[in-house]
Amino acid sequence: MGDRDSYREHFFNHNWKTGRPPSQVTDACHWCQLRAFPTHKQYPVTIVNKTGDGATLPKDFRFITDSILTQGVRAAEASFRSGCACTDALACRYDGCECLSDMLWDEEEEEEEDEADDNDSNSDSEPEVRDKRQLNYANGNGKPNKRAKFAYHSQGAKAGLLRSRYLDSREPIYECHEGCACATSTDGDQMTDGDNACVNRVVERGRRIPLQIFRTEDRGWGVRTLVDLKKGQFVDRYLGEILTAREANHRRSVSTMARRKDVYLFALDKFSDADSLDSRLAGPPLECDGEFRAGPTRFINHSCSPNLRIFARVGDHADKHIHDLAFFTVRDISAGDELTFDYVDGIVNLAADARHHVEGMTPCLCKSANCRKFLW
């Protein structure tokens, strides 16, 4: 059945008017699965295939809205969980917020960047910025006693965007979460200065943009944004089945895709440390498998000149072993453009490799000027 036929099947036979259809129907229909997303009305995910090849999404794939913890994987026990005690809307920007205690920051450079950030943000917000400066230097000895520490811009045109310092780094992002005292946004969308919502909950609020999964001419399915995106904007998380290292290796060994299974497996290794006293961080990391269960970002293709990058994001510090994988834009992107990320994040010098063993390697079709020519 081609794309259009399957959609007609959904449109005419899967009736949502009287509530959600039975799970046998939704389980087998990708449109029903997307229709069931809680943000479907505001930020729909659509699927189109205009290539005429009649391809549909893989039958054994199912859309999910949260990662699935598989056997042997557990979130932290309630007694180990904690959150910040901040009640002031702005407090979760600063040093005193427990959620930010592990964030690295260079004080001097931070001041510089704050300056630059303030200068190119909305001029309407300037008087308020000046107030905050005074707050920063409130201890009277000329030294800041409150260093802005969190990863996002909090006001003006860039509110909610990742600061350039973080975009250029591989630092993890620590956000507030359900265990914190600070307030979540009241309108569930844009955080405004007025609603006393904590500004440090960008990934937690989830995807706020419509996406389209489309059939490319030469690389299978891909994903495009249907709205303009700004540099530093959060797109969505990478979801999947969270596997123990053992199960991930097992799936690699039985995969018919051989080495290519790795394109769907992301190691949650941002906090892995052989010397850690926490056995969950000292051992081999858990992995997130998006091949069979995932969100729309599982269909994002590789580019050697990508417009997205993946960041590790942590809510409760006790859950570092199951940290999130969050896609942010690294430049402005226009509505209709395909979203891409670097599958090896530029770390491996594949171009040099390629000169030696071309046989059996997969050509990269990203078409960027600095294409490394091979995916792996």
Ligand X SMILES: C[S@@+](CC[C@H](N)C(=O)[O-])C[C@H]1O[C@@H](n2cnc3c(N)ncnc32)[C@H](O)[C@@H]1O
Which among 105-113, 203-211, 238-246, 300-308 is the span making contact with ligand X, rule CB under 6 A? 300-308
Closest distance of CB 141 from ligand X, Å? 53
Q: Is 198 in the site for ligand X (CB under 6 A)?
A: no
**Closer Cβ to Zn ion, 81 or 231, answer by number:** 81
Which among 11-19, 276-284, 297-305, 315-323 is the span making contact with ligand X, rule CB under 6 A? 297-305
Distance of CA 95 to the CA centre of its chain: 25
Of residues 304, 308, 312, 325, which one binds Zn ion by CB under 5 A? 304
Q: Is 90 in the site for Zn ion (CB under 5 A)?
A: no
Distances (CA, A) of 206 to 123, 201, 238: 28, 9, 11
Distances (CA, A) of 135 to 91, 144, 146, 185, 308: 11, 9, 8, 24, 35
**Residue 265 binds which one of Zn ion, ligand X, none, with CB within 5 to 8 A depending on kind?**
none
Give yes or no for a contact between 221 and 299, defined as CB atoms under 8 angstroms apart.
yes
Token pair, residue 172, equals 């993890």
Of residues 29, 34, 90, 92, which one binds Zn ion by CB under 5 A? 92
At a CB cut-off of 8 Å and minimum separation 6, what does 288 contact? Answer: 67, 238, 239, 240, 241, 242, 243, 265, 266, 268, 325
Q: Is 43 in the site for ligand X (CB under 6 A)?
A: no
Number of residues lying near ligand X (CB under 6 A): 15
**Closer Cβ to ligand X, 150 or 264, answer by number:** 264
* Share in percent of the chain as helix, strand, coil (round to 5): 30, 15, 55
Cα(367)–Cα(139) distance, integer angstroms: 55
Q: 188: phi > 0 → left, psi -120 to 50 → alpha, else beta; which?
A: left
**Residue 221 binds which one of ligand X, Zn ion, none, with CB within 5 to 8 A depending on kind?**
ligand X
**Residue 154 binds which one of Zn ion, ligand X, none, with CB within 5 to 8 A depending on kind?**
none
**Residue 36 binds which one of Zn ion, ligand X, none, with CB within 5 to 8 A depending on kind?**
none
Neighbours of 269 (CB within 10 A): 16
Q: Is 373 in the site for ligand X (CB under 6 A)?
A: no
**Closer Cβ to Zn ion, 14 or 81, answer by number:** 81
**Residue 198 binds which one of ligand X, Zn ion, none, with CB within 5 to 8 A depending on kind?**
Zn ion
**Closer Cβ to Zn ion, 233 or 301, answer by number:** 301
Q: Is 259 in the site for ligand X (CB under 6 A)?
A: no
Closest distance of CB 234 from Zn ion, Å? 16
Of residues 219, 231, 261, 373, which one binds ligand X by CB under 6 A? 219
Q: 3-state SS string over 40-86?
A: CCCCCEEEECCCCCCCCCCCCCEECCCCEECCCCCCCCHHHCCCCCC
Neighbours of 334 (CB within 10 A): 10
**Closer Cβ to ligand X, 233 or 303, answer by number:** 303
Of residues 2, 72, 188, 220, which one binds ligand X by CB under 6 A? 220
Opening angle at CA 179, ends 275 and 290, nearest 5? 65
Beta bridge partners of 68: 241
Cα(117)–Cα(128) distance, integer angstroms: 14
Token pair, residue 227, equals 């709205």
Footprint of Zn ion on 336-365 (CB under 5 A): 364
Residue 234 exposure: Cα atoms within 13 Å on the Cβ side = 28
Q: Is 361 in the site for ligand X (CB under 6 A)?
A: no
Cα(354)–Cα(38) distance, integer angstroms: 45
What positions carry a catalytic annotation? 238, 343
Q: Is 200 in the site for ligand X (CB under 6 A)?
A: no
Q: Is 344 in the site for ligand X (CB under 6 A)?
A: no
Closest distance of CB 326 from ligand X, Å? 17
Of residues 43, 63, 214, 221, which one binds ligand X by CB under 6 A? 221
**Closer Cβ to ligand X, 185 or 305, answer by number:** 305
**Residues at the interface with ligand X (CB under 6 A):** 219-222, 260, 263-264, 299, 301-303, 364-366, 375
**Residues at the interface with Zn ion (CB under 5 A):** 84, 86, 92, 97, 99, 176, 180, 182, 198, 200, 304, 364, 366, 371
